Copies of this chain bind each other. A is one copy, B any other.
């Protein structure tokens, strides 16, 4: 019989609330023969306030033993900026070599977008997850004085760029439109930009069936709001991907629907799935959080582990649920219940 061993990091604020719904739907969607085991990890702002710890080695080790990780959201305003991001979230992405940060953007029917008209939006951003300006390289000199110099080093390797570019070509080749756009800023960031462009062009030769193009990141933001339908698969670096996927979430119904996967396709380490949104302390405890982004992240988790049919069932349930929304308020729990019922039937 099959089994599924998931580490769960609910985290802070609405993280706890949405993860509960994610697990509810996960439980409902799995066939009876699959044994689901979940192990909660107490990590995040609350833990840090209590103990000063972000991610102790023992827990990092223990996390390695699971099939995948489901994470809610991390952080509260009482923690200095950067402490949990670098000490927990990015630490996990780097330690588990999550080089594919997968972020699909789809405008579901009946979902409101800030854009006029009804653009057809259905693209996926393949964001590099282990390099670029996110490496933590850099430092500051004469900190806090009028003579301070602070640097951030974007580190890019052919090794790191090629593996994410290949993954993106594979994904593009498997989609009906077969189109891949590289986004960078190679007219200014010439060293990193040329590396990305050269690797991209070289790998492209192995995928003649995939149509390719290149956009500077600034121009890409324009197309996100004026012609989002032009995108199919986008591959880009860690920082550009961060920026573009928040914008993508905004134009496809908001951050309440945006799912993501931090994926290590080799299986050497567990991959981690999380909504793009944060812990939203302002609405925590009110029942206003939309668990859909987390539930869609559970679908990504399932697909990553080979449960394709179950992943599709969740996505169809979300699509149907969104189509039925009429503006009536439903709590976090009610949305989770509705989706659990849909996937079970």
Contact = CB atoms under 8 A, between A and B. Distances in A.
Contacts of A189: 133, 138, 152
A166 B206 CA distance: 52
Interface string A45-86: 000000000000000000000000000000000000110011
What is the oligomeric copy number? Answer: 2
A149 B161 CA distance: 10
Of A185, A198, A218, most buried by chain B (CB within 10 Å of CB) is A218
A150 B156 contact: yes
Given A116-B114, A219-B246, A157 B149 contact: yes
A287 interface: no
A95 interface: no
Contacts of A136: 190
Contacts of A225: 114-115, 225, 247, 250-251
A149 B148 CA distance: 28
A167 interface: no
A206 to B, nearest CB: 15
B194 A226 contact: no
A198 B162 CA distance: 38
Contacts of A186: 81-82
A34 interface: no
A102 interface: no
Interface string A136-153: 101110111111111111
A187 interface: yes
A158 interface: yes
A312 interface: no
Given A133-B188, A225-B115, A226-B114, A81 B193 contact: yes
B242 A218 contact: yes
A249 interface: yes
Contacts of A146: 158-159, 162
Contacts of A187: 81-82, 85-86
Contact of A222 (B144, B185, B242, B246): B246
Given A219-B246, A242-B218, A243-B243, A192 B226 contact: no
A308 B242 CA distance: 40
7 contacts: A86-B187, A146-B162, A149-B157, A150-B191, A150-B195, A154-B154, A226-B250
Please name the 10 residue pairs, one residue from A and one from B, whose CB atoms are nearest each other, closest first.
A218-B246, A148-B158, A221-B247, A150-B195, A150-B191, A222-B250, A152-B154, A82-B190, A85-B187, A116-B116
